[in-house]
Amino acid sequence: MLPEAKKIRVLKLTIKIEDLWKAEGFERPSQAIWLEMANNKYEYVKSFEPEDELMPLTWIVVRIDGHRFHRFCEVHEFEKPNDEQALNLMNSCAKSILEEFPDIVFAYGVSDEYSFILKKTTRLCQRHSSKILSLIVSYFTSAYVMKWREFFPQKELKYPPSFDGRVICYPSTAIVRDYLAWRQVDCHINNQYNTCYWMLVKSGKSKREAQDLLKGTQTQEKNEILLQHFSINYNTLPVMFRKGSSVFRDKVEDTVDSAERGDPVEMKVVIDHSDIIEETFWDKHQYILDEEHIRGN
């Protein structure tokens, strides 16, 4: 449909040209033909649209990140440094995305960010970058709003959250594994720092004092601060805080009934907090990033 302003312009143009047609003794063209001619005249504007088809046969990674979530978390009084319910809400949105888009094979999330990996052969949105990105960002954001009450029944959502996003193509599985390792190392570094920082602040230190105390400290020293000052063994903190969250399809436990019936193994989307840097996870779930398997589909 043409917007009103455009319709009026087309109509004015029609009237003027109609006079010319009449003066030359021609029949008045039908409105449908006229609109088609007008459309051809304006169609050139499409040539300004950028070509944004992503490289074929590359893993597509979409990373979304909460926009100004520092403020969003303050306004909604999230627990510091980790709000379990807020993280569960993020995970639930990611799970919905995997359930909606079969070509997304894996997702990894921490804090206010989530990365989604699309299989190499995906033809989702004909691999148009801006379409894929806007689809995932908008789906995640509306899921976040829709599910808010489920995770925060006592808290009002005070203003609309928003997420930004980017798309990156990786040519090999090894690089995708490194990408995920990078995000999980980041999760560890930030979580360890934030846990120490907020324990120091909650115990009465000023924010500046806490920052100064932690400046230049290594992993081991931070663990010692936690143990000596607060009797906290970092490794016993909830695994979701330390390792982040992975979302992927996994085999549902075989039931006796289904095995007896010879049913095919059912896959369902699960949320997990494994170490995804080590081989163990990938040995167990080879099918997730298996290119041969993906090509066979």
Ligand X SMILES: Nc1nc2c(ncn2[C@@H]2O[C@H](COP(=O)(O)OP(=O)(O)OP(=O)(O)O)[C@@H](O)[C@H]2O)c(=O)[nH]1
Residue 78 near ligand X by CB under 6 A = yes
Q: How far is Cα 293 from Cα 291, in angstroms, rounded to an integer?
A: 5
Task: Return the one option of ligand X, Mg ion, none that residue 22 interacts with (CB less than 5 to 8 A, by type).
Answer: none
The DSSP letter of residue 150 is H
Q: Do 112 and 87 meet the contact criterion of CB atoms below 8 Å apart?
A: no
Q: How far is the CB of 291 from Mg ion (least distance, A)?
A: 32
Q: Does 18 bind Mg ion (CB under 5 A)?
A: no
Please measure the distance between the N-terminal and C-terminal CA atoms of the chain and give it in whole angstroms: 39
| Stretch near ligand X under the rule CB under 6 A, chosen from 66-74, 127-135, 173-181, 204-212 | 66-74
DSSP letters, 256-274, are HHHHHHTPPPPEEEEEE--
- Under the binding rule (CB under 5 A), the answer on residue 144 touching Mg ion is no
Write the interaction track for Mg ion spanning residues 92-131; mark x where CB under 5 A is met and - where it is not: --------------------x-------------------
Between 165 and 289, CB nearer to Mg ion: 165
Do the Cβ atoms of 122 and 101 come closer than 8 Å? Answer: no
Contacts of 166 (CB under 8 A, 6+ apart): 62, 63, 133
Position 69 contacts Mg ion (CB under 5 A): yes
Task: Please name which of 184, 187, 188, 213 lies closest in space to residue 198, comparing C-alpha atoms.
Answer: 213
Q: Nearer Cβ to ligand X, position 9 or 67?
A: 67
Q: Compute the half-sphere exposure of residue 256: CA atoms within 13 Å on the CB side of its CA.
A: 0
Which amino acid does the sequence have at 227?
L
Coil, helix or strand at residue 211: helix
Nearest alpha carbon to residue 282 among 178, 133, 211: 178
Residue span binding ligand X (CB under 6 A) among the ranges 44-52, 76-84, 127-135, 256-264: 76-84
Contacting ligand X (CB under 6 A), which of 18, 34, 80, 128?
80
Q: Number of residues in contact with Mg ion, rule: CB under 5 A?
A: 4
In this structure, what is the dihedral angle of CA atoms 210, 214, 216, 221, given to the nearest 10 degrees?
A: 160
By CB under 6 A, tell whether 83 contacts ligand X. Answer: yes
80 binds, among Mg ion, ligand X, none (CB under 5 to 8 A by kind): ligand X
* Window of 18-26, 59-67, 136-144, 179-187 that interacts with ligand X by CB under 6 A: 59-67
Name the residues that contact ligand X, by CB under 6 A: 65-70, 73, 78-83, 86-87, 111-112
Name the residues that contact Mg ion, by CB under 5 A: 65-66, 69, 112
